[in-house]
Structure 1
Amino acid sequence: KKVEPFASTVLLPHRFTEETNKVLVFTENEQEAEIARENGAAVVGGVELIKWILEDEIQADFYVAVPAIISKLIPLRNKLRRKYPSTKRNSLGHDIPKMVQHFREGLEYSVQDESVIKTRIARV
């Protein structure tokens, strides 16, 4: 049976790399912003980040957001494509510490055409 292509992120119990992903958090609430910074988010901000992202001045591996700001992020939908925050990818929600940890330390994998899984499996 053929599987439709998709991508996701998984937290491994034992990481094989010291690198962490760069996570950008969209929020306009100062308390949520402080929580994101404490949990290791590389960039935290609100709608002021939209212009910089569209001009490629800021880039991140993953983008997460709180539901209160998602309607203001629509101009980024075409630019970010599959990295655009969504509940389906668990990058849109209220639990900022969990989202930041998941995407900061997670390993991204993708299932492509012909049901082939593409990811790193070890460090040589």
Structure 2
Amino acid sequence: MLGLLVRPSPICPASYIRQFNTTSALHISRTKEPKIRTPSKKALAAKARRKAAIAKKEDQRLLKLPLLDAIAVLRSVEVAHPKSLYELYVKTEIGNGAAVPRGRVNLPREAKSKDEGKILVFAEGRQAEEAKRAGAHIVGGIELIEGILNNRHRATTILCVPSLIRAITPKLGRFLGPLGLMPSERRGTVTEDIVGYIQRLRGTSEWRADRTGSIRAPIAMMDFPVEDVVTNFNQFITSVKGATGNGKDPDAADRKLRSAGGSRPVIPITKVMLSSKQGPGIRIADF
């Protein structure tokens, strides 16, 4: 310990002199930080199973009706509105990296008048002539690219033969991709069988889920016979099941994967509801 003395001065008398002492620094011991425990894969799986069991139990408590009973309830609510529509709602559970479900359906009796879509085909030679005879509205080669980019050529469906897909992808990929119009082998719009694809489009309408996996579509009118409503419902659900891997779909677009012997991931269907403009949304038990 060292002592520092300050000499007295006229300004600072000796009686006010203060002695300063220095002491050694204290050593502060660091406490050990608590370790964060990372749950194992087994624990996470068990937690997920518990949550799924609780969700299933809660779902079973909700009221569900058979399809015929739901139709009867909605018809009684809409008795003064015979032109009101039955609205179908299907909720699918899309996993990470899974494609948004989409497909085409041919309802025996359409609820709304269908707007005829415009078909554009990238093809040359004999395939181009066959596409024109099959009913394609715009047919051509790579010269159509500029017309698509400046919106001179507008189409609801774009098909392409395999020999031209590499030529159009660099310029049209980023433009048509976000619109869901870029031809792809997975969807079946890159194909040698252009005529067969156009024939399957005739008399059908496209449905598509949103980013949350929800599908909404009008399937019938209130003044339809009950048998027609049931038939349209079953036809639409069959199309959704086929596109999500929950049923067989002979017109599935993913023929390449199927021919290779692979299997598409199944997208669960968690909820099916039927509603109307004035009526409630009714969970369907039998679908």
Give yes or no for TM over 0.5. yes
Quote how far apart the aligned CAs of 1:5 are.
5.7
Aligned residues: CA RMSD? 2.3
- Give the match for residue 192 of structure 2: 94
Higher relative contact order (CA 8 A, sep 6+): 1
Gaps of 5+ in 1: none
Structure 1 residue 49: Cα displacement: 0.2
- For 2:103, the equivalent position in structure 1 comes to 9
Q: How many residues align?
A: 123
Please point out which of 214, 217, 234 is paired with 1:119. Answer: 217
Provide, for residues 6-38 of structure 1, a one-character-per-residue CA deviation record: whole Å limited to 9, x for no partner.
15331415362353211100012x210111011
Query: In the alignment, residue 47 of structure 1 is paired with which amino acid?
Result: I
Alignment of 1:38-117 (within 5 A): 38-74=133-169, 75-81=171-177, 82-117=180-215
Q: 1:122 deviation in Å?
A: 4.4
Counterpart CA distance in 1 for 2:129 and 2:187 is 23
Q: Is the 8 A contact 1:33 1:44 kept in 2?
A: yes
For residues 118 and 25 of structure 1, do their structure 2 counterparts lie closer, same or farther at Cα, with a shift above 3 Å needed?
same
Larger radius of gyration: 2
TM-score, length-normalised on structure 1? 0.84
- 37-46 vs 103-112, greater mean Cα deviation: 103-112
Q: CA deviation at 1:55?
A: 0.8
- Unaligned residue ranges in structure 2 (runs of 5+): 1-91, 223-287
**In structure 2, C-alpha distance between the alignment counterparts of 1:88 and 1:107, rounded to whole Å:** 19
Moved more, 64-73 or 82-91: 82-91
The TM-score, its normalising length taken from structure 2, stands at: 0.39
Query: What percentage of residue pairs aligned between the two structures are identical?
Result: 29
